[in-house]
Amino acid sequence: MFPFLIAAVVLAAAAAWTDWRTGRIPNWLTFSVLAIAPFVHIARGLIQGLAKEDALLQGGFSVLGAVICVLVPAFLYTRNAIGGGDLKVFAAIGALCQYPIGFEAEMYGFLSLALIAPARLAYEGKLLRTMKNAVGLMINPFMPKEKKVVIQQEMMSWIRMGPGILIGAILTAALHWGE
């Protein structure tokens, strides 16, 4: 599985680089991995001497990894909390690493972002304003319409997730070194 972890780190590094520089993660980067990963898992299984059914199962685990790793990001995407490129990178990492290692990489990515975001916001002097906005967004569903907190789009904070996803992929690869 380690070559797939290295591929996930390379994918996350390319995504982090383009996200950091342009604010976008190109479709060719994520969709190509999503399309190829199940077939590579099948080929790996056949090369290792697995029965045809077991090799096909490896491809199925790749698809399952992509689906499981896209569930939480898809929910966040529908709430405009993350971008589509971030969603596709998580799916591609899930396809490469399968479940549960892909999910582990995703969770480490979210954890690193949970540590990076407040530090960055504090550095930029936006932490308290962002915390106030977050509380407003959390209580809005429970407030009557006339008392809902209105937050202007300009007051919202946005952070590039690519570097955090890369940290999650690197940490997962390091933890599974030698397996």
pLDDT tens, residue by residue, 95-129:
999 989 999 999 999 999 999 989 988 998 888 88
The residues spanned by each domain of the chain are 2-124+160-175
Tokens of residue 146, six digits: 């006339």
Distance CA(18)–CA(124), nearest Å, equals 22
pLDDT > 70? residue 152: no
Residue written as token pair 């080929």: 43
Distance CA(170)–CA(26), nearest Å, equals 21
Query: Angle at the Cα of 85 (from 81 to 87), degrees rounded to 5?
Result: 60
pLDDT > 80? residue 156: no
Query: Angle at the Cα of 163 (from 161 to 167), degrees rounded to 5?
Result: 115
Tokens of residue 67, six digits: 């689906």
Query: Is the pTM above the cut of 0.75?
Result: yes
